[in-house]
Amino acid sequence: MSQRDEIRIRIAARADLSAIAPLARAAFTLDAFSDALLAEKLFDAPLPDAELWQTYLAERDGRPIGFMQSVVRRGNPKGWVGLFAVDAGARRQGIARRLFENTRAAWPSRITSAEILALPGNYFAPGLDPRYTSGLSFVEALGFTRGRDCVNLSCKLWREFDTAAEESRLAAAGIEIRRADCRSDGPLLDAFFASDFGADWRFEAEQALRQSPEALHLALRPIDGTTRIVAFSAHGTQNREWGFFGPMGTTPAARGLGLGRVLLWRCLNDMRAAGHASSVIPWVGPIRFYHDACGAVVERVFWRYQMDLVR
Ligand SMILES: CC(C)(COP(=O)(O)OP(=O)(O)OC[C@H]1O[C@@H](n2cnc3c(N)ncnc32)[C@H](O)[C@@H]1OP(=O)(O)O)[C@@H](O)C(=O)NCCC(=O)NCCS
């Protein structure tokens, strides 16, 4: 029997986490994945519009030797390859290529492009860290091409940010800054995200709302006699143990008033109070804004990889 014949590829169940976790921890040497965090990425927090949210597991003689996450969203023409790794002793034997073949074969025919990592709503990273050089060699061998770079920033939480003066200034201008309330703010949030920022951030806001205290801060002002959310910031919506900030957004009409800065500070204060020494501001965006508002600096660079699929 050839090595190829001994290998079985199947869809992993959550119970396979104990087999996947050691593979992941050995392969992802730049990242500290706890079981809970891996479970969040692979099993526990699928996007509400996920059509496929699967992890393929490769086994040789019943022993796990590799895995690859596959995601397809309803109505979306893109497919995502999420986390993937192969045991160091089983590399360069075509295992990851076979995992990708399985992934792609299961995608519906409307899928015309693929992306590596960068899964909006539940992502580990906004692209591939090029220091995972075997990973980038592999995806380039498959035919993925490198697109834009993107960055994660890091903000040291040495001190608490004093928001009082800014909040008084905004209150005088008729803008209330407060923590979201999980019991009563649902309809306001639904209306806000339906008109601004969309379903992916509504999903993340919900994850933030479920934390205690709510990891979601709002700016509200009366518009045509009705109180409306005009800006928000969240944290810990995913990768919470890594101190992830975001998402955050201000409606176009309310930009330039200093809402983003004070909402950012509130989230950073929460994370500091929860014991984080620093916060990750991922998949940025307005680097200068963050550098100015909280001294955040570029910590990590990622490369986006995409491929057109010809069927
Ligand atoms: C990336 C990884 C999954 C590849 O697994 P693998 O089973 O060894 O890959 P394959 O054998 O299917 O490789 C297919 C092709 O990719 C290319 N490739 C894979 N690994 C490579 C490497 N280290 N150097 C150069 N090319 C490589 C080759 O062209 C290879 O074909 P070939 O062996 O016939 O030349 C594995 O190296 C790994 O687990 N790395 C650490 C985890 C990681 O980087 N994950 C990405 C971030 S999520």
Whether residues 272 and 227 share a domain: the answer is: yes
Ligand 1 pocket check for 141: Cβ under 6 Å? yes
Chain Cα centroid distance, residue 95: 26
Q: What is the pLDDT of residues 255-264, one digit of tens each?
A: 999 999 999 9
Q: Give the relative orientation of helices 259-273 and 164-172 as an angle to the nearest 10 degrees.
A: 140
Cβ atoms 163, 250 nearer than 8 A: no
Residues β-bridged to residue 244: 280
Whether residues 202 and 260 share a domain: the answer is: yes
Structural domain includes residue 290: no
Whether the ω angle into residue 286 lies within 30 degrees of 0, i.e. cis, is: no
**pLDDT at residue 152, as a whole number:** 97
Ligand 1 centroid–CA 134 distance in Å is 5
Which residue, 279, 275, 286, 242, is CA-closest to 124?
A: 242
Ligand 1 pocket check for 76: Cβ under 6 Å? no
Whether residues 22 and 57 share a domain: the answer is: yes
Chain Cα centroid distance, residue 200: 10
Say how many domains are in the chain. Answer: 2
Whether residues 165 and 124 share a domain: the answer is: no
Whether residues 140 and 10 share a domain: the answer is: yes
Residue 3, pLDDT above cutoff 70 = no
Instruction: Say which CATH number the domain at 116 has.
Output: 3.40.630.30
- As a whole number of Å, the CA-based R_g of the chain is 21
Q: What is the pLDDT of residues 95-116, one digit of tens each?
A: 999 999 999 999 999 999 999 9
Ligand 1 pocket check for 99: Cβ under 6 Å? no
Ligand 1 pocket check for 134: Cβ under 6 Å? yes
- Quote the pTM value: 0.93
Structural domain includes residue 37: yes
Whether residues 122 and 224 share a domain: the answer is: no
Which residue, 255, 42, 31, 273, is CA-closest to 152?
A: 31
**pLDDT at residue 5, as a whole number:** 59
Structural domain includes residue 135: yes
Ligand 1 centroid–CA 239 distance in Å is 26
DSSP characters over 4-37: HHHEEEEEPPGGGHHHHHHHHHHH-TTS---HHH
What span, in angstroms and rounded, lies between the C-alpha atoms of 302 and 151? 6
Ligand 1 pocket check for 114: Cβ under 6 Å? no
The residue whose C-alpha atom lies closest to atom 32 belonging to ligand 1 is 92
Q: Please give the C-alpha separations between residue 118 and each of 63, 243, 278, in angstroms, as whole numbers.
A: 29, 18, 22
The preferred substitution site among 136, 138, 142 for testing ligand 1, maximizing ligand atoms within 8 Å of CB, is 138
**pLDDT at residue 97, as a whole number:** 98
Structural domain includes residue 209: yes
Q: What is the pLDDT of residues 118-144, one digit of tens each?
A: 998 888 899 999 999 999 999 999 999
Whether residues 145 and 165 share a domain: the answer is: no
Structural domain includes residue 237: yes
Ligand 1 pocket check for 184: Cβ under 6 Å? no
**pLDDT at residue 1, as a whole number:** 46
Whether residues 143 and 164 share a domain: the answer is: no
Whether residues 145 and 15 share a domain: the answer is: yes
The residue whose C-alpha atom lies closest to atom 37 belonging to ligand 1 is 134
Structural domain includes residue 287: no
Which residue, 69, 59, 71, 67, is CA-closest to 25?
A: 67
Residue where the block lists tokens 């992502």: 123
Structural domain includes residue 188: yes
Ligand 1 pocket check for 91: Cβ under 6 Å? yes
Q: What is the pLDDT of residues 219-273, one digit of tens each?
A: 999 999 999 999 999 999 989 999 999 999 999 999 999 999 999 999 999 999 9
What span, in angstroms and rounded, lies between the C-alpha atoms of 196 and 219? 14
**pLDDT at residue 2, as a whole number:** 54
Cβ atoms 113, 305 nearer than 8 A: no
Q: What is the pLDDT of residues 182-233, one digit of tens each?
A: 999 999 999 999 999 999 899 999 999 999 999 999 999 999 999 999 999 9
Whether residues 15 and 121 share a domain: the answer is: yes
Ligand 1 pocket check for 118: Cβ under 6 Å? no
Structural domain includes residue 232: yes
Whether residues 9 and 144 share a domain: the answer is: yes
Ligand 1 pocket check for 125: Cβ under 6 Å? no
**pLDDT at residue 123, as a whole number:** 87
Q: What is the pLDDT of residues 282-309, one digit of tens each?
A: 999 899 999 999 999 999 999 999 999 9
Q: Which domain holds residue 229?
A: 158-276
Whether residues 211 and 74 share a domain: the answer is: no
Minimum-distance ligand 1 atom for the alpha carbon of 91 = 8
Residue 235: what residue type? H
**pLDDT at residue 4, as a whole number:** 53
